[in-house]
Amino acid sequence: MIELSPAAWAVMVEHAQNCYPNECCGILIGSESDGKRLAILAVACRNAYDGEQKDRFEIDPRDQIAAERKSRELSLGVLGFFHSHPDEAAYFSQTDLKNHWPFYSNVVMSVRAREVKDAKCFRVDVDQTASTEEELTWPKS
Amino acid sequence: MAKILIPTPLRQFTGGADIIEASGASVGEVLAALTTAHPDLKKNLYNDEGKLRSFVNIYVNDEDIRYLSKEATSIAAGDTVSIIPSIAGGR
């Protein structure tokens, strides 16, 4: 399971709202203990997808390098990633499945009319042929 | 010697190490040294044709090797080589 800290969630919501109606994306940094992950920080990233960004995203690798550096400085790790689905449900699509790595927690936010309505988290199996929903908790307002 | 930063999913193939030092004059040589020392990494970094997988980005310091000389990119002592998972998606 993974828990999002209030600080991480606030960054994710603001980024999703600012990017709407396009997809936003970012990185989750935190720690893991006894199989429970805590995302302490979320890093808002640039959507580097070269095309229509309403339904596609690609995390800018330069933002990943910076986040990786930051996580090491803080003695934390990159736990996963987040992105938004504007005016769609929080599900893990086939495109998501083919373009994510195993191990990571991948949070998908449903954003409707600029409001974050739902969030779910998924992990990809080692063959990238299936995803499993991971228990997710975040601060509810 | 170059420092190679290993992303979390691949640390299971390096005995948990997040940084590996390897020698070589080019990116290709450094990665060859890495996969020789940690053979299980090879299938995660290279396809069956021996080419770097498309969802693996390699950076030297802050530069993408695709925009340098790819695997022939020169490595100097103290350079940092980052293995960056390509993450993308959409509906």
Tell me how close the Cα of A66 comes to any Cα of chain B, in angstroms.
9
Residue A125 has pLDDT above 70, yes or no: yes
Q: For residue A48, what pLDDT is reported?
A: 93
Q: For residue B59, what pLDDT is reported?
A: 96
Q: Tell which phi-psi region holds residue A16, choosing left (phi > 0), alpha (psi between -120 and 50) or beta.
A: alpha
Rounded distance, CA A100 to CA A104, Å? 8
Q: For residue A141, what pLDDT is reported?
A: 61
What's the gap between Cα B46 and its chain centre?
Answer: 10
Q: For residue A88, what pLDDT is reported?
A: 96
Starting from the edge strand earliest in sequence, which strands make up the sheet with B63-64, in order?
Answer: B19-22, B2-5, B80-85, B56-60, B63-64
Nearest to A61 among B5, B8, B57 (CB): B57
Report the pLDDT averaged over residues A100-119.
Answer: 96
Size of interface A-B (CB pairs under 8 A): 72
Nearest-by-CA chain B residue for A79: B8
Residue A126 has pLDDT above 90, yes or no: no
Complete DSSP assignment for A93-136: -HHHHHT--TT-EEEEEEEETTEEEEEEEEEE-TTSS-EEEE-E
Identify the DSSP state of A29: E
- What are the tens digits of pLDDT across the range A28-85? 999 999 999 999 999 999 999 999 999 999 999 999 999 999 999 999 999 999 999 9
B9 neighbors A101 (Cβ within 8 angstroms) = yes
Share above pLDDT 70 across residues of chain A, in percent, rounded to a whole number = 99
Query: Residues 15 to 44 of B: which have CB under 8 A from any A CB?
Result: 18
B14 touches chain A (CB under 8 A): no
- What are the tens digits of pLDDT across the range B45-69? 999 999 998 889 999 999 999 999 9
Contacts of B9 in chain A (CB under 8 A): 101-104
Residue A127 has pLDDT above 90, yes or no: no
- Where do we find the tokens 């989750």? A28
